[in-house]
Structure 1
Amino acid sequence: MSQVYKKGYNRIDLLGCPIDALNMHETISVIEDAIVNKQQIHHVVINGAKFVNMRKDSQLKEAIFDCDLINADGQSIVTAANFLGKYIPERVAGIDLMDNLVKLSFEKGYKIFFLGANGVIVKNVVDFYTKKYSSNIIAGFQDGYFKSEDEEQIANKIAKSEADI
């Protein structure tokens, strides 16, 4: 885990799951600080389904717990936390965060490497943001359907892209 929490952001414990009580603006600020300081951070969003699934899947739980930044994506998570007296200011949906980070990249000149989904979908996402903003924000892209023996090659591809995000 990186030193993201030097600023003293509030990480709560919701029934054994760590969640950062941040709004969208604060989340973007944490991520931008990491970009500016050339820090790598791992981010995940939690919704009700993921919350339940991590209780049955130890690998998922470990991956979530190892993240530097954990946002409440689902309104059910925000409601449950607030009901239990653990305030989360708002839902930070992963798709909304991504859209905000793409806009930030355009405004600040950051580059993004898009990883995930199938080849057609990831290419459509890249084409959408290229048309909306510019190809200058695109460092590269890769579908998420690859073999474990290809991981090192793909990691090198991402590193060579010099992506900020």
Structure 2
Amino acid sequence: MVLASRILLRSNLLKVSQNLLKNNVSSVESLKYFSVSSINQADRLYTKKHEWVQVEGEIGTIGISNHAQEALGEIVYAQLPDVGTKFQQSDECGALESVKAASEVYTPVSGTVTEKNTAVEETPGLINTECYEKGWLFRLKLSDSGELKKLMNENQYQEFLKTDEH
């Protein structure tokens, strides 16, 4: 598992280096702004309802996108699914409430919940400050990895955000 993570990290670093060179960014100084979280963001997959999933092995970590947390505003309550709950792709699996709106959460993939982020239940504002890191919502064991093909990668999601469909 560690070896696979290192290979993936090196592969992502190579892609980033190639993109930097392609865009005439050749100085090492430019790389100081690059972080591991931006590498990981490339591995995230998104739904049209602004949830994301990041998969390691057969476990998917699920949260809401930066766009979604900005649209909601200050999140004050998070209702997350219980461990052991089974979901099908796109099932409603929780809710978030902010000072200005409430929103359902839908699972991007099918599976069984293995963990919920109790820190988010206790401090929902983590979603606003770190939606991709400490603000994740729950983890589940995927039951159909083929569903990942139906989701958008980072570039596709950014293009989707430019449309009126969201």
TM-score when normalising by structure 1:
0.23
TM-score when normalising by structure 2:
0.23
Which has more helix, going by share of residues?
Answer: 1
Which has more strand, going by share of residues?
Answer: 2
